[in-house]
Amino acid sequence: MNPRNYIYAKFIFTLFFLLNLITFVLGIIVSSKKDLSVQYIDNVRKTIFIFLGLIILLSISYIIILIIYKKKSDYKMVKIDKIYLWLVISLIVLVILFQVFFTSYYIINFQLNRIKIPSIVFLTLTLIISVLASILENFSRLNETIYWNRKKVLEEVKSAENKPKIKKNLNSKNLKETQIKNKENPFAIEEETVDD
């Protein structure tokens, strides 16, 4: 995709990654501190669920934007680009599935006091997957970045090559105009000299 359009997708993906990181930190707080009040833990867990919902929305938005921009881009993806792209999308989908399953698991079992899997396990898994997705996401645009940089350099070189041609054309145009004037009035230079 065009670098300008890519900013939107990158911004969404950065939010996606940061929210995963925040939920991980909140999960550590809840899991490690046993002396916290029930109300405080409940509020933190509710915050985690809200963040997970936002992460799911961001993930879906990112995939949609990525596919749309890739289709509209001037850059034609090579095989390795397509592999990276689908790996990133697959990992994000995996994060969504994890979050949907475990969020529903925690909501149901927390109310029934039957939680057997610590929240830290789930949050660690989602963080690892999102880190992998982030690494692959950067690799997925490596060839494309090289392509856009090359295109920019070629355009600059072409522009620099065209400048002397334009100057040359203007000089030849001025020379022709001078020659025509001299033909029309061959004593123009001499007259000026006599006046002096």
What digits encode the pLDDT tens for the residues 152-178? 666 666 776 666 655 555 555 555 566
Kindly report each contact of residues 89-93 with a partner whose C-beta sits within 8 Å and lies 24 or more positions away, as own/partner: 89/63, 91/129, 91/130, 91/132, 91/133, 91/136, 92/16, 92/59, 92/62, 92/63, 92/133, 93/59, 93/63
Which pLDDT value is given to residue 140?
A: 65
Question: What pLDDT score does 190 carry?
Answer: 47
In a domain, 148, yes or no: no
The answer on 32 and 54 residing in a single domain is yes
Give me the mean pLDDT over the 81-96 stretch: 73
Residue 5 has pLDDT above 60, yes or no: no
Q: Name the band, by pLDDT with cuts 50, 70 and 90, for residue 101.
A: confident
| Residue 196 banded pLDDT, cuts 50, 70, 90 | very low
Query: Who has greater pLDDT, 28 or 169?
Result: 28
Query: Quick check: 90 pLDDT over 70?
Result: yes
Any domain includes 174: yes
Residue 147 lies in a domain: no
Q: Is the domain of 23 the same as that of 109?
A: yes
Number of folded domains that form the chain: 2
pTM: 0.48
| Inside any domain, residue 146 | no
In a domain, residue 173? The reply is yes
Answer yes or no: do 135 and 158 share one domain: no
Same domain for 160 and 107? no
Same domain, 118 and 47: yes
> What range does the domain containing 159 cover?
154-195
Range with the poorest average pLDDT among 5-9, 53-57, 69-73, 111-115:
111-115
pLDDT exceeds 70 at position 193: no
- Residue 15 included in any domain: yes
104 and 171 belong to one structural domain: no
Residues 158 and 136 in one domain: no
Can you tell me the mean pLDDT for 2-16? Answer: 63
Give the pLDDT band of residue 62 (cuts 50, 70, 90): confident
- Residue 30 included in any domain: yes
Q: Are residues 12 and 83 in the same domain?
A: yes
